[in-house]
C-alpha cells in the first residue's frame, strides 16, 4: 500500500559501492552523471530560462553549485555562484528550525497554546475557543483564512515592526484548529514572532546569530530590507525578476511585511549549507542543535493525511513523494521561484533558485529529474479498489479568502477530477493519476500524492502535499464566472443606455421646437444611474488590478468606499423609481428602460454586497 512506502524509515535504499560511497541519486541515475544531467537539462530549456542556480548536497557537504543564464537580461549580467535569489516561502524552514532550537532549550512547547507566548489580546479574530499550538502553525492548521494585501510593499518606508504588522493585519479564523490544512503565511510569521518574543531578539537577528553565522552563510539575509547583511542588499541590485515568458517585471522587488514567511535572500551555495546542516555526515546533532534527538524529531512526520498512516508534514517541512519520500518546501515572490528538496534517509538534497515568478521547468521538472517520479515507488495493491467515479468532481482550495473583498479572486482556484477509466483520472492540468490503494492516487510521471477523505460514505475532501480542497457543487465552481458574466451584461446595458440617451439628445437638438415633457422627468436619475454603473465597473476592475499587484489595503480603501456609495445610490434610485414611475415622463418603453436600469443597479449592488466588495 501507498501508506507503507511513504514512511521515511522505509525509503528506497540508494546504491552504494564497495567502499561505502553512494553511487546513485534518488531517481536511480548514477551520481557521477549529476553535472551532465543538469547541464543537459538547462541547455534543453535555455530559451525559456532567465537565470537558474542549482546546488546539490550529499552526505553533509555540497557537491555541486552552479548558476546558469542571465541575472539581468537588459544589462547582460550573467548569473554566477555569487548571484543572490529570493527564497520566497522556503524562508519558513528557518522559522521551523528556530522554533525547534527553542524547544530544545525548553523555551517553547509545541503543544502549548500559543497565546501563552503572545501579549494579552493579541489574537482578536479567533472564531473558535480551541487552543492553537505551534504544531498547528507548523501544519498550517491554525484555521486562518488567506490574506492578499499587505504581504508586499514597494517601499521600505512602508514596513512595520513584525509584531505591529501581525496585529494590524490579522486574518479571520475560518476553520477549527487542527481540521484543515490551509497554507498560511500569517501563521508562519506568527511563529517567527513567538521566536522573537521568547529569544528577546528581533527574528532576523536571531536567525543571523543562530543559523547564518553558525553555518557560515555569509551571502544570505532575512531582514525584509536586508539590514542584517548590506552586501546581500547590494547584490540584489544585480539581478532582476522576470515572468515565465521572460518579460521583465519593473516592480519585481517587494518588501515583505510578514518577513519570516518569505523574505530570505541569498546564494544557492549558502542555501545548500543549510540543507547539509540538516543531514550531517555520519549522523549526530549537526551544527544547529545540541541533541541529535531534536534534529531527528524535527525531520520526522508530525502530521499524516486524514485517516491514513501516510506522512504529510514533518514539523513544517512538507513530505512529498518522489521515487523516495523527501522533505521539501517551495517558494515564490514577485519575480523569483525556489525549491529546497532533501532526503534525510540517504543524505541527498538539492536547491533550485530562479529569477522567474511561478517557474516550473526547474522547480518541478529538474527536481523530478533528479528525485524521480512517485509512481516508480508504487507497490502492488491486491485488494478491491473503489471506482474513480466516487472521487470525480470539483474541489475548492481551502487556502482562500472566505470573507472580504478579495474572496472572489480565490474562488477561481479549483481542482477538477475527471474520470478516465475505473482506476485513472485527469486533473485540470491534464495530469493523469492512478489509484494505488483505496482513495490514494499517484500522478503518472510526476511527484506527489492525492488522498481523498470521506464523511458518511461520501468523498468530501481531497488533500495533496501543500493543502486541502473541499468538494463543491458545479454551481459553486462557476459562481465567480456567472458573477463576471452578469457584471459584463450590466456594463453593456449601461453603456448602450448612455449612448442611446446621447443619440436622442443630438436628434432632439436638431428638431425645433422640442416636444414638451409629459409628467416629471426621470431621465436625469436614469442617466446618473447608468453613469454610476460604468464608473463602479471600472472601479471594480481597478480594485482587482491593484490587489493582484500587491497594493496595500490602505491604498484600496477608496475603491471600497466607492462601492458602498454605489450600493446607497442604487437603493435610492429603486426607492425613487417606485415612488415616481407612474407619473414619470415617457411611454411604456421608456418606463421599461427605467426599470431595467433599476434592476441593473440592484444586481450590481447584490454582487458588491455578496462578494464583500465593501471591506
| Gap between the Cα atoms of 610 and 459, Å rounded | 28
**The predicted structure's pLDDT at residue 533:** 96
**The predicted structure's pLDDT at residue 586:** 67
Query: What are the residues facing 325 on neighbouring strands?
Result: 321
Per-residue pLDDT reduced to its tens digit, 396-420: 999 999 999 999 988 989 999 999 9
User: If we measure between CA atoms, which residue out of 4, 22, 2, 35 comes closest to residue 279?
Assistant: 22
Q: What average pLDDT score do residues 15-44 get?
A: 82
Q: What average pLDDT score do residues 95-113 get?
A: 98
Q: What average pLDDT score do residues 62-71 get?
A: 97
User: How large is the C-alpha radius of gyration of the chain?
Assistant: 28
Strand 303-304's sheet: what is its strand order?
Answer: 77-78, 61-72, 51-58, 348-354, 337-343, 325-332, 317-321, 311-314, 303-304
Q: Is the pLDDT of residue 208 over 70?
A: yes
**The predicted structure's pLDDT at residue 315:** 98
Q: What average pLDDT score do residues 589-611 get?
A: 93
**The predicted structure's pLDDT at residue 3:** 40
- Which H/E stretch holds residue 63? strand 61-72
- The SS3 call for residue 298 is helix
Residue 321 in contact with residue 448, Cβ under 8 Å? Answer: yes
CA neighbours closer than 13 Å in the CB half-sphere of residue 50: 30
**The predicted structure's pLDDT at residue 12:** 44
- pLDDT category at 254 given cuts 50, 70, 90 is confident
User: For the chain, what percent of residues have pLDDT higher than 90?
Assistant: 80
Q: Is the pLDDT of residue 273 over 90?
A: yes
Q: What is the mean pLDDT of the chain?
A: 92
What angle (nearest 5°) sits at the alpha carbon of residue 250, between those of residues 236 and 186? 70
Lowest-pLDDT choice from 19-28, 412-421, 459-468: 19-28
Task: Classify burial at 427, counting beta carbons within 10 Å of its beta carbon; exposed 0-12, middle 13-18, buried 19 or more.
Answer: middle
Per-residue pLDDT reduced to its tens digit, 107-122: 999 999 999 999 998 9
Q: What average pLDDT score do residues 26-50 get?
A: 95
| Gap between the Cα atoms of 409 and 56, Å rounded | 38
User: For the chain, what percent of residues have pLDDT higher than 70?
Assistant: 94
Task: Classify burial at 347, counting beta carbons within 10 Å of its beta carbon; exposed 0-12, middle 13-18, buried 19 or more.
Answer: buried
Residue 5 in contact with residue 377, Cβ under 8 Å? Answer: yes
| Gap between the Cα atoms of 347 and 61, Å rounded | 9
- pLDDT category at 16 given cuts 50, 70, 90 is very low
| Gap between the Cα atoms of 551 and 547, Å rounded | 5
Per-residue pLDDT reduced to its tens digit, 496-537: 999 988 888 788 778 755 554 444 578 888 899 999 999 999
Q: Output the pTM of the full model.
A: 0.91
Residue 71 in contact with residue 83, Cβ under 8 Å? Answer: yes
Amino acid at each position: 500500500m501507498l501508506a507503507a512506502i511513504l514512511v521515511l524509515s522505509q525509503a528506497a535504499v540508494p546504491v552504494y559501492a564497495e567502499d561505502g560511497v553512494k553511487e546513485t541519486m534518488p531517481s536511480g541515475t548514477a551520481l557521477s552523471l549529476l553535472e551532465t544531467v543538469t547541464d543537459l537539462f538547462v541547455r534543453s530549456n535555455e530559451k525559456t530560462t532567465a537565470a537558474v542556480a542549482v546546488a546539490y548536497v550529499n552526505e553533509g557537504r555540497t557537491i555541486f553549485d552552479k548558476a546558469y543564464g542571465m541575472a539581468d537580461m537588459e544589462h547582460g549580467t550573467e548569473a554566477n555562484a555569487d548571484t543572490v535569489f529570493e527564497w520566497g516561502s522556503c524562508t519558513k524552514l528557518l522559522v521551523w528550525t528556530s522554533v525547534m532550537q527553542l524547544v530544545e532549550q525548553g523555551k517553547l512547547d509545541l503543544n502549548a497554546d500559543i497565546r501563552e507566548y503572545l501579549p494579552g489580546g493579541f489574537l482578536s479574530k479567533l472564531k473558535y475557543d480551541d487552543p492553537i499550538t505551534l504544531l498547528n502553525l507548523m501544519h498550517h492548521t491554525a484555521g486562518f483564512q488567506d490574506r492578499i494585501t499587505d504581504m508586499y510593499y514597494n517601499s521600505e518606508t512602508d514596513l512595520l515592526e513584525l509584531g505591529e504588522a501581525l496585529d494590524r493585519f490579522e486574518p479571520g479564523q475560518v476553520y477549527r484548529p487542527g481540521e484543515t490544512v490551509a497554507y498560511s503565511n500569517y501563521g508562519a510569521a506568527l511563529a517567527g514572532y513567538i521566536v522573537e518574543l521568547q529569544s528577546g531578539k528581533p527574528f532576523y537577528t536571531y536567525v543571523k546569530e543562530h543559523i547564518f553565522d553558525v553555518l557560515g552563510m555569509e551571502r544570505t539575509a532575512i531582514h525584509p530590507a536586508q539590514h542584517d547583511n548590506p552586501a546581500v542588499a547590494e547584490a540584489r541590485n544585480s539581478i532582476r525578476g522576470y515572468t515565465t515568458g521572460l518579460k521583465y517585471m519593473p516592480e519585481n522587488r517587494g518588501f515583505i511585511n510578514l518577513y519570516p514567511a518569505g523574505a530570505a535572500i541569498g546564494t544557492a551555495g549558502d542555501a545548500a549549507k543549510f540543507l547539509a546542516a540538516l543531514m550531517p555526515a555520519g549522523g549526530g546533532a549537526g551544527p544547529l542543535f545540541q541533541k541529535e534527538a531534536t534534529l531527528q524529531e524535527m525531520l520526522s512526520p508530525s502530521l499524516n493525511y486524514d485517516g491514513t498512516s501516510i506522512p504529510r508534514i514533518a514539523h513544517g517541512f512538507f513530505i512529498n513523494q518522489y521515487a523516495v519520500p523527501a522533505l521539501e518546501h517551495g517558494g515564490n515572490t514577485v519575480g523569483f521561484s525556489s525549491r529546497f528538496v532533501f532526503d534525510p534517509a540517504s543524505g541527498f538534497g538539492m536547491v533550485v533558485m530562479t529569477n522567474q515568478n511561478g517557474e516550473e521547468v526547474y522547480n518541478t521538472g529538474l527536481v523530478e529529474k533528479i528525485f524521480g517520479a512517485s509512481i516508480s515507488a508504487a507497490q502492488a495493491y491486491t485488494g478491491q479498489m473503489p471506482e474513480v467515479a466516487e472521487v470525480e468532481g470539483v474541489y475548492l482550495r481551502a487556502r482562500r479568502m472566505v470573507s472580504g473583498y478579495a474572496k472572489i479572486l480565490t474562488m477561481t482556484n479549483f481542482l477538477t477530477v475527471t474520470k478516465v477509466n475505473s482506476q485513472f483520472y485527469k486533473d485540470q492540468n491534464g495530469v493523469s493519476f492512478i489509484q494505488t490503494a483505496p482513495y490514494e492516487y499517484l500522478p503518472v510521471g510526476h511527484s506527489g500524492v492525492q488522498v481523498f477523505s470521506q464523511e458518511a460514505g461520501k468523498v468530501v475532501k481531497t488533500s495533496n502535499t501543500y493543502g486541502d480542497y473541499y468538494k463543491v457543487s458545479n454551481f459553486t465552481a462557476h459562481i465567480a464566472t456567472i458573477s463576471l458574466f452578469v457584471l459584463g451584461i450590466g456594463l453593456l446595458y449601461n453603456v448602450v443606455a448612455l449612448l442611446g440617451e446621447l443619440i436622442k439628445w443630438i436628434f432632439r437638438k436638431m428638431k425645433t421646437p422640442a416636444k414638451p415633457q409629459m409628467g416629471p422627468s426621470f431621465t436625469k436619475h436614469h442617466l446618473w444611474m447608468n453613469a454610476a454603473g460604468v464608473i463602479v465597473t471600472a472601479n471594480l476592475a481597478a480594485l482587482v488590478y491593484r490587489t493582484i499587484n500587491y497594493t496595500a489595503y490602505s491604498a484600496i480603501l477608496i475603491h471600497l468606499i466607492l462601492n458602498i456609495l454605489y450600493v446607497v445610490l442604487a437603493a435610492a434610485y429603486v426607492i425613487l423609481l417606485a415612488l415616481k414611475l407612474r407619473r414619470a415622463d415617457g411611454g411604456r418603453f421608456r418606463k421599461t428602460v427605467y426599470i431595467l436600469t433599476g434592476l441593473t443597479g440592484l444586481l450590481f449592488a447584490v454582487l458588491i454586497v455578496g462578494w464583500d466588495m465593501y471591506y
